[in-house]
Structure 1
């Protein structure tokens, strides 16, 4: 899951990024309205966490921008103000949840999982295609009840394909989603190719089917029942 944290408190942003990174999230952050706006317009995220009180603007104004960028992106407001007016305004603008500071990162994590299941997985606790079952909570893949060993990147790549099933995705979009900002400085997509081919091989050897098709000159498409 790729998450953007929009927060200007250095201690809190460090705590959230450290915690959610250990939970397997791809974390990015922005401490100002301007930086958050730039990231939202440039990249795609599964979930955006927005603090209302930013030094150079209101986080409320970012909500419609996120919604316009991607209707599937989940939005969670975090604020020190436990105001019904703010809650209603944020939800009416398109936010999915509202959490009042201070909060436990474990509670935020539970809310993110619930939101991800509701928006990206359409409420399902497991993702099923043919005889494969993905458990997003344990981050595992099984085939006919036998677990298939995947690396972290292979698992992230498989989820990205599932969410974008039947769509053509390019190497740059794959790299940006899985490696985030850190891949911007490299024009070498060998790493994408290696992880993709390894995943493709494991799925093929297990089921006898080739789920990942190459669309020459454009990218790759994942097809499954």
Structure 2
């Protein structure tokens, strides 16, 4: 799951990223309005955390951009502005939640997880597809009710596939989803193949079917057909 943190206070942004990264999220940061506007226009996020007061614009504008391009991201506003008018405006233009600063990082984490479950998984703690069951809070994966021990990247890859059943995903989009701003650390797209190979083997080892299909010259598709 990938998150964009739009926050000009760098210390707070780093604290949020550190905390959410330890919780298993892939995080990117935008410190200005224009950085955020460019990122949401180019990339997809599962959740966007938006500060309202930015040095070169208002966070409301980021939310309006997300709605204009029909992005599926969940939106949480974080702001020191505690007026009823701001909260109402944020909800009316499309945000899902509003947290007033200062806040506990554990509360933000809980709200992010709750929002992602509501928007992507119908509010359920378990995501079930055929013989595959994913326990979202614990990040555990079961195939035919037998636990498959998978790495963090393999978990992120599986969830990405399950959220895009029958959709052809390019190698580039998979790499960008798994590494985000740190895509260079993946060395090459060969790492995508390596993670896919390992995930496929672990599903098969537990008696699951081979749902990962190669699409020549493009990427991969997760499908039962």
| Matched residues, number | 225
1:218 aligns with 2:221: no
- Map Cα deviations across residues 48-68 of structure 1 (whole Å, 9 max, x no partner): 000000000001000021234
| Whole-angstrom distance in 1 between the partners of 2:191 and 2:70 | 27
Tell me the equivalent position of 1:49.
49
Runs of 4+ in 1 over 3 A off after TM superposition: 68-71, 184-187
How far residue 187 of structure 1 moved from its aligned partner, in angstroms, is 7.5
Q: Is 1:104 aligned to residue 122 of structure 2? A: no
* SS of residue in 1 equivalent to 2:221: strand
CA RMSD after TM alignment: 1.6
Q: Distance in 1 between matches of 2:163 and 2:208?
A: 22
- Hey, what's the Cα distance between the residues in 1 that align with 2:131 and 2:187? 36
- In 2: Cα distance, 1:26 partner to 1:102 partner: 23
What TM-score do the two structures reach when normalised by structure 1? 0.95
Q: Kindly state the Cα deviation for residue 184 of structure 1 after the two structures are TM-superposed.
A: 5.2
Instruction: State the match for 1:138 in structure 2.
Output: 138
Task: For structure 2, list consecutive stretches of 5 or more residues without a partner in the other structure.
Answer: none
Q: Give the distance between the partners of 1:214 and 1:70, measured in 2 at CA.
A: 29
Q: Would you say the 8 A contact 1:204–1:211 is kept in 2? A: no
8 Å contact from structure 1 (residues 40, 69) kept in 2: no
TM normalised by structure 2 equals 0.95
- Residue 19 of structure 1: how far off its partner (Å): 0.9
Name the SS of the counterpart of 1:207 in structure 2. coil
Match of 1:30 in 2: 30
**Contact 1:44/1:69 (<8 A) preserved:** no
1:200 partner SS: helix
Per the alignment, do residues 15 and 158 of structure 1 end up closer, same or farther by CA in structure 2, a change over 3 Å counting? same
